[in-house]
Amino acid sequence: MVDIDDIKEYAKGALKQYMFPVGLIVFQCIFIILYGVHADYGLRKVEVTNQTEGVSHNTPPPVGDVEFYYSFFQDVHVMMFIGFGFLMTFLRRYSFSSVSFNFLIAAFVVEWAILVHGYVFEWNPVTKSFPVDVKVLLKADFVCASVLISFGAVLGKTNPAQLVALALIEVVIQVWNEYIGTELFCVYDAGESIFVHVFGAYFGLAVSYTLQRHHIVESTKESSSYASDIFSMIGTLFLFCFWPSFNAGTAYGDGRLRAIVNTYISISASVILTFTVSALVGKGKEEIIHIQNATLAGGVAVGTVADKNIGLFGAMIIGSLAGIISTLGYKYLLELLKKIRIHDTCGVHNLHGMPGVFSGLAGIVVASMPWRSYYHENLSYKCLSGGEHRSAAVQAGYQCAGLLLTLGMAIVGGVFTGLILRLPIFASPDNNSYFDDSLNWHVPQDFVAEDSALGSLIKNILPTNMQLEENPKQATPIIVKYNPNTIEFIQEKSPRQSIQTVSQQSNQSVFLNVADLKNDQSNPTSPVLFTQRL
Amino acid sequence: MVDIDDIKEYAKGALKQYMFPVGLIVFQCIFIILYGVHADYGLRKVEVTNQTEGVSHNTPPPVGDVEFYYSFFQDVHVMMFIGFGFLMTFLRRYSFSSVSFNFLIAAFVVEWAILVHGYVFEWNPVTKSFPVDVKVLLKADFVCASVLISFGAVLGKTNPAQLVALALIEVVIQVWNEYIGTELFCVYDAGESIFVHVFGAYFGLAVSYTLQRHHIVESTKESSSYASDIFSMIGTLFLFCFWPSFNAGTAYGDGRLRAIVNTYISISASVILTFTVSALVGKGKEEIIHIQNATLAGGVAVGTVADKNIGLFGAMIIGSLAGIISTLGYKYLLELLKKIRIHDTCGVHNLHGMPGVFSGLAGIVVASMPWRSYYHENLSYKCLSGGEHRSAAVQAGYQCAGLLLTLGMAIVGGVFTGLILRLPIFASPDNNSYFDDSLNWHVPQDFVAEDSALGSLIKNILPTNMQLEENPKQATPIIVKYNPNTIEFIQEKSPRQSIQTVSQQSNQSVFLNVADLKNDQSNPTSPVLFTQRL
Amino acid sequence: MVDIDDIKEYAKGALKQYMFPVGLIVFQCIFIILYGVHADYGLRKVEVTNQTEGVSHNTPPPVGDVEFYYSFFQDVHVMMFIGFGFLMTFLRRYSFSSVSFNFLIAAFVVEWAILVHGYVFEWNPVTKSFPVDVKVLLKADFVCASVLISFGAVLGKTNPAQLVALALIEVVIQVWNEYIGTELFCVYDAGESIFVHVFGAYFGLAVSYTLQRHHIVESTKESSSYASDIFSMIGTLFLFCFWPSFNAGTAYGDGRLRAIVNTYISISASVILTFTVSALVGKGKEEIIHIQNATLAGGVAVGTVADKNIGLFGAMIIGSLAGIISTLGYKYLLELLKKIRIHDTCGVHNLHGMPGVFSGLAGIVVASMPWRSYYHENLSYKCLSGGEHRSAAVQAGYQCAGLLLTLGMAIVGGVFTGLILRLPIFASPDNNSYFDDSLNWHVPQDFVAEDSALGSLIKNILPTNMQLEENPKQATPIIVKYNPNTIEFIQEKSPRQSIQTVSQQSNQSVFLNVADLKNDQSNPTSPVLFTQRL
């Protein structure tokens, strides 16, 4: 007799297992078709030649576009894949997922973002296509940053299928938001602090809030180890070094120089203030999590005005304040947010959210000083309220509007996305599986949860090549199957205080306290059979 | 009386110890002489000026060659030293050797490749010299890639002397093969998928096959740890990021843009398909080895046609298929190859071999479409069969010939090299020493083989600053000398069940089961004295 | 009654805790003011246009300065933050401090160096300001290198307040020394081997000598682990790859090409000779510390003459000799220097000191060959002894004078700085706290000193989420508070042989030998209460 529940259960398992890969294949096929129909290399030679003749002082160099953008693009590319990827490896049991899902999501997003960006920004109705050149690749990396920031907020609490769905939705909203902001509102935002950092952070926080139905149970897995913290510093330092390339990526001429110098000064200032504040609030000792994250806040905070004539002292003040805000956020705000059920794994609110809003505010202030903002250079006839002849006050107003629009779109979009991700079809992982690579990975033999007494004992006492085997010495046999991550004990019913397990190879024995085993098992079933996931 | 066998043994030991350093010095001296006699900086000003005047639309920019190539060169340089080096650190007991011998071999090869490439490709009979400029450094890095791929196939199974010999021979064959392929056959191969990836992979596999006389005994040392897998991801991600620079390195003009965009799209597609297939074949869980390697297959597979007008959808299809092929190779083919005695440590057949051949095939197909291949741009009067006026069909034929030539040269060259490396003079390591840093390195104190019961016990119980000492409590003394990697037990003849070792500093004691010790010892000698290498 | 000693003690504690952050804030405020008053972006369009007209064959390109310098600058920036930072992570208990204080000091120095360099080198009396463009950022990174080299000599033996003070003083002396050397003596030094490497190394050694009042007690913490050595290789390889950018950073035209090629060849040669010599002196086994460091000596040694026409064979000879010298230094000299109380944690004398002096000597030799040195290109009317018409012999003399001046300034400046750092106000750490992150960091739970028997036991036996608690089973209660890094035992007076500690969660127990505890405690107080820092 076939049980309908069994079928349901089976379907659920199959869904959980195959939804992610099958979904990826489907979208990849759709992408291939869209690229085939609508994308080209942007080699429109005649147009380029025409532009060259009427070149103004703010036009990017008409020759050598590849060379002009490529090294900036590569720096930003490293930030996305190495920088963000390794920054998130700080979780000691979730490093595979952090660096690898970052890899997957980033690769998926660049493909998808080129399409969406192309249709929205670059569509040429004459050729019925959009170009894909180095500058477009760079723009796709910016969209990517936005998704990776959101990823940071939900890190460890989602499965890959959810991440792909998140990326699919977020890219569309992000690109449209940026289109309205830059093309209609004509907001300037050189380093994309508003359209990437603010958007990504609040989108992610909204997803995180919506996705969790209750407070997250504290888990010892949500912590770092000495090695994982050092891996994370790889990410930090590449993000730090290449941040000037991010903020100056699409700038040119004098603006490019200012963007480089301002970002360099601002992010250096935030490094110093982070160390300062971390020591002050830590009673003379530093917290590595501050150093990994808050040091970069100066790069975010100067973003919107990076290519403006804010003066080096302006950049330094912005960076210093950002370092202070961000470090205090990590120290105090993270816990407060948890209390209102907003769990922010990487603290993106402190690194991207607040410094991004701060950058938006700086943009409003600078807009009111036309001799610093040169805002006319960003205007076109398409701009609302005045086209190319907008006043400084109006520009300041639009900078404000752009920031508010972004906050609104991010939060609404994030809540919507969170609701989608809660659908049963996504088989959201439960609290026990958070921050744990073994859910999604075949892990190496040395990956056992030191969090369980048994896991620790076995890890520390048993050599990796030993297998716990059926114990021949005991009257009532106890079968123990030992895999890298799971132990199965099939023992007789009569309770006993301790069992002795003997390694076949070496006769080395380990006494395991039954109390330990019971204490460890996640679902306390009958004593006859229980499986211990390490 | 001097025993002739003793002398032989001593000579063998000395050879083993000194052949590697002395060999390096000898070749370094030869290199210095050759560089002194035949190399210059390529600053032939007059020639450059002349070329500038008659510049065609496909000539690279005559001014600023350094700036034109340098950032691409640096990206590729990072791929060679960081990318390949860290990619191979996945072996948990062989990470020092992986990253460091990669360093040595790469440095050795660039010196040697500049010479061989210079004599073969760049020799100027008038000045009796060859130039060394940034483009030449870039070409040397390509040769280097080829040798490092072969290194991946024999990783952990060779000593440094063998690696140097392998590099010496392979460079010569690789450069000549490429000369015939590009200058006479006029095969195009922008990203060097044929001349570097296919050549390197099959050369390495042939060496691996020839070198091993019997099946490799399975060793627990041939596995990864959680940390070593993360180190490996550093390599993966830098290779991923900079692969467009590799494929576009020597291209220019429109071809450079196409090479960048195509590679970027193709390698992103292979990332997505790798995650997909890995989850499908892994019952919903990913394998980190797939992510570390197969994700990059798209970069290899698009190589030959990278600068061609294959369309972005073409690049995406190529990358997707490459990701599928490569992941399936890692999952199923690796074991099959072992059965025919081809042991491929890094799976270069899956990452470089098959995707490289696939790229070669794509090159044949594209050659038959002149409006996509622009193959005329690669032709010169030196080309066989038609010179600059070759037909598309002929070009397709030569693409095929180039691929077959490369396969042939690689396999024959590899077998030849393997036979050389089997000479007793190289003192090839035996199966027990495979994948183990302690053979070639003074290792830190925490490096003990967890593979042995004793090693694990000592590592876990004994603090690093303790020394096991002569045990004064036992009636019949037992002398124990404890070094980081070796324990020597000199015990009395009468068998005993267990020995107690006491640390001098802390009186902490460890009971070691004699059964364990016996089980561990590699050569079961008399119980009187045995040395345990941890 | 208030005790005057208590107040003193309290003041000392507060000073220790707050001097570092408060000092940083004060200097940051001063920097902001100085940047506000005197720094600009260097966008002096008119001047640039004038220069363009009278451009000589050695003038850098007048257009696109950003693009001309930026990718070189980024490479050097990565060297400072990733390269130096990770190179120093080799200490297994000090990796947080190594990579993070390197981060802090580098960020602090670039801010400070831009100011000092600006006032000394770039001051424009007309505009009363100095420019900050990409080339200046690059120069600031060079100053930074100098301080980070000195940091390497005192690594693990200083607190952050001392490091900041060191940086403050060293930057001023370094910049003035370089000003005298390059502007008055007109010494050429393309790769800054004299003004950065020699200066930084001997300054650091002088500080190290002055700071330590007695021989450093050998500590097991001053060692590496398998993982920390691999982290260090990240630094090595990035320094290796980008060294050509360092040496060619400020060069242009033909000199830039020569600087790239010479550095590439020289540093590759030193890699090969390092492996060679390390194997020779290590009885066939390599030392990873040699590979991490001495491999780079070729980059230092070719620095002064990097852009000169020394020929590729010249570069190769220089690099080979540097590799030999440096490796031998690590093998033999490090211990000798310790005997005269010069403790050099990273061996900067071997990597930067000796190869730097060697480079200076090479500079003298090359100066006497004008057809190789083109020394006239470096001369201006400001030069002492002959202005732009100096003879080759005079130039050689000034090269020598520059080297000696640098050695003198470095040693005198270093001794002066060391005396400052010894002031009680800096609360210099004592020998027991050397090489230990727990002094300056809140460390993760898995950071316990395996160096103590107790620490090792607890680390290996106790799962991380267990807390040792008051033991209810013992007649006379013993209170144990267990923190990640500290255990406090409050036990009754009567001595006992062993105590049993029981984990509350799992009833797993650990027997701790009182002898162990006593053996471990750093200050042997009464048995009633002692705190064990792990």
Pairing of strands B498-502, C486-490: unpaired
- CB–CB contact A466 B450 (8 Å): no
Which residues of B fall within a CB distance of 8 Å from C286? 96, 100, 440-442
For the sheet with C486-490, list strands across it.
C479-482, C486-490, C529-533
How many whole angstroms separate alpha carbon B203 and alpha carbon B107?
20
Residue type, C466: M
Verify whether the Cβ–Cβ distance B21 to C280 is below 8 Å. yes
Picking from C74, C461, C506, the nearest residue to A245 by CB comes out as C74
**In Å, how far is C517's CA from the nearest CA of chain B?**
9
Determine the residue among C74, C76, C459, C502 to mutate to test chain A binding: the one whose Cβ has the most chain A Cβ atoms within 10 Å. C74
pLDDT at position B448 is 56
pLDDT digits (tens, 9 = 90+) for C255-299: 999 999 999 999 999 999 999 999 999 988 999 999 999 999 999
Residues of A in contact with B287 (CB under 8 A): 441-442
Residue with tokens 């040119």: A252
pLDDT on residue C18: 86
Helices (H), A181-302: 199-211, 226-248, 253-281, 288-293, 297-301
pLDDT in the model for residue B220:
76
Q: How far apart are CA C281 and CA C483, in angstroms?
A: 45
Taking Cα atoms as reference points, which of B113, B108, B205, B115 lies closest to residue B151?
Answer: B205
Nearest beta carbon to residue C104 from set A225, A244, A272: A272
B287 and A441: CB-CB below 8 Å? Answer: yes
Chain center to CA of A120 = 24
pLDDT at position C198, please? 98
Residues of B in contact with C65 (CB under 8 A): none
> Which residues of B are less than 8 Å from C460 in CB distance?
460-461
Higher pLDDT, B67 or B329: B329
| Digit-coded pLDDT (tens) for A506-526 | 334 444 433 334 333 333 333
Given an 8 Å threshold on Cβ–Cβ distance, is A291 in contact with C100?
A: yes
Higher pLDDT, B378 or B28: B28
> B464 contacts in C (CB within 8 Å)?
220, 450-451, 456
Q: Do B107 and C241 touch (CB under 8 A)?
A: no
Sheet of A479-482, strand order: A479-482, A486-490, A529-533
How many helices (H) and strands (E) are present in chain B, helices listed first? 20, 9
Look up residue A399 and give its two tokens: 């900078």
Task: Give the chain C residue nearest A279 (alpha carbons).
Answer: C21
Model confidence at C117: pLDDT above 60: yes
The minimal CB distance from A133 to the residues B257, B280, B320 is found for B257
Q: Do residue B43 and residue C257 have CB atoms under 8 angstroms apart? A: yes
- In this complex, do B24 and C272 lie within 8 Å of one another by their Cβ atoms? yes
Q: Which of C229, C246, C454, C511 to mutate to test the interface with B (most CBs of B within 10 A)?
A: C229
Nearest CA distance, C182 vs chain A (angstrom): 26
Burial class (CB in 10 A: 0-12, 13-18, 19+), B220: middle
pLDDT at C421 over 80: yes
Q: Kindly determine whether residue B276 and residue A506, on different chains, have CB atoms separated by under 8 Å.
A: no
- Mean pLDDT computed over C416-443: 90
**φ/ψ of residue B207, rounded to 5:** -65, -45
The residue ranking higher by pLDDT, B13 or B146, is B146
pLDDT at A328: 97
Residue C45's alpha-carbon distances to A61, B24, B321, B442, C41, in angstroms, are 17, 54, 53, 59, 11
- Chain A interface disruption, residue of B312, B318, B512, most A CBs within 10 A: B312
Best mutation target, C76, C442, C443, to test chain A (most A CBs within 10 A)? C442
Closest in A75, A224, A456 to C444, CB measured: A224
Segment (H or E) for C394: helix C392-421
Give A272 to chain B, closest Cα distance, Å. 28
Each residue of C183-227: pLDDT tens digit?
999 999 999 999 999 999 999 999 999 998 777 777 778 889 999
| Nearest partner of B108 among B169, B188, B55, judged by Cα | B169
Q: Which positions in chain C touch A452 (Cβ < 8 Å)?
A: 463
Residue C83 is given by DSSP the state: I
Picking from C161, C432, C156, C96, the residue whose alpha carbon sits closest to that of residue A286 is C96
Q: With cut-offs at 50, 70 and 90, classify the pLDDT of residue B70.
A: very high
Beta strands C498-502; C509-513: pairing state: antiparallel
Shortest distance between the Cα of A338 and any Cα of chain B, in A, equals 30
pLDDT band for position C45 (cuts 50, 70, 90): low
Contacts of A530 (CB under 8 A, 6+ apart): A488, A489, A517, A521, A524
DSSP state of B128: T
Tell whether the model's pLDDT for residue B273 goes beyond 90.
Answer: yes
Select from A18, A28, A112 the residue whose CB has the most chain B CBs within 10 Å, as the one to mutate to test that interface. Answer: A28
Would you state the pLDDT for residue B45?
52
Q: Which of C95, C132, C445 sits opposite A230 (nearest CB)?
A: C95
Chains that touch B (3 or more CB pairs under 8 A): A, C
Residue B6's pLDDT is: 81
Dihedral sign computed on CA atoms, order B511, B515, B519, B525:
positive
Q: Do the Cβ atoms of A464 and B456 come within 8 Å? A: yes
Query: Which among A18, A33, A89 is the nearest to B230, CB-wise?
Result: A89
CA atoms of B425 and B304, how far apart (whole Å): 39
Pairing, β C529-533 against β B479-482 = unpaired
Divide the 534 residues of chain A into consecutive groups of 10 and give the mean pLDDT of each group. 75 80 95 96 56 38 73 96 97 95 97 97 94 95 98 95 97 98 96 97 97 79 92 98 96 93 97 97 93 98 97 97 98 93 95 98 96 90 89 96 98 97 89 88 71 42 35 39 40 39 39 39 34 33
pLDDT at residue A444, as a whole number: 84
For chain C, the average pLDDT equals: 83
Q: What is the ipTM of this complex?
A: 0.87
Which chains neighbour A (Cβ–Cβ under 8 Å, 3 or more pairs)?
A: B, C
- Structure confidence at residue A49 (pLDDT): 38
Query: What mean pLDDT do residues C473-502 have?
Result: 39
Whose tokens are 């500093």? That residue is B505
Q: Which residues of A382-392 are buried (b: 16+ CB within 10 A; e: fewer)?
A: ebeeeeeebeb
What domains does chain B contain, in order, with CATH numbers? 16-52+69-438 (1.10.3430.10), 444-533 (no CATH)
Asked if B261 and A137 come within 8 Å (Cβ–Cβ), the reply is: yes
Question: Contact at 8 Å (CB) between B156 and B434?
Answer: yes
Q: φ, ψ for residue C205 (rounded to 5)?
A: -65, -40
